[in-house]
Amino acid sequence: MSKLQNLQQALKSSSGKASIEKPAPVETSEQAVRPATKTISSSREGKDYTGAWLNPDFGTSLRLVQIRKRQAAQGKKVYLDDIIAEALNDLFIKYDVPTVLHE
């Protein structure tokens, strides 16, 4: 027995407390086989998330554009993903890369 093990044994015996061993968690076959399920909303089917950490002022400006577009559309709903897609397509045109059809 090493010095460290002797020291640990002496500490356990002098503390006056019985050592409590925790049983290892048992994994059932059902838990081992079950894959993590992810539900995807039908509106997100076939789409990827593309995001960035930006200054909060970008979000404020996006909301202002959304409000102005809604006013121009006489109160019809205007979605941020449509505005962002439009902005990205404008960027793609500027840099002469293919644009993407947003539905």
Q: Total domain count for the chain?
A: 1
Give the up-direction half-sphere exposure of residue 50: CA atoms within 13 A in the CB hemisphere.
6
- Please report whether residue 81 resides in a domain: yes
pLDDT score recorded for residue 19: 58
Q: Which of 85, 92, 93, 89 shows the shortest CA–CA distance to 62?
A: 85
Decide: 91 and 84 in contact? Cβ < 8 Å.
no
- Please report whether residue 24 resides in a domain: no
pTM of the complete model: 0.58
User: Could you tell me the residue range of the domain that residue 77 belongs to?
Assistant: 52-103
- Please report whether residue 11 resides in a domain: no
pLDDT score recorded for residue 4: 79
- Please report whether residue 10 resides in a domain: no
- Please report whether residue 17 resides in a domain: no
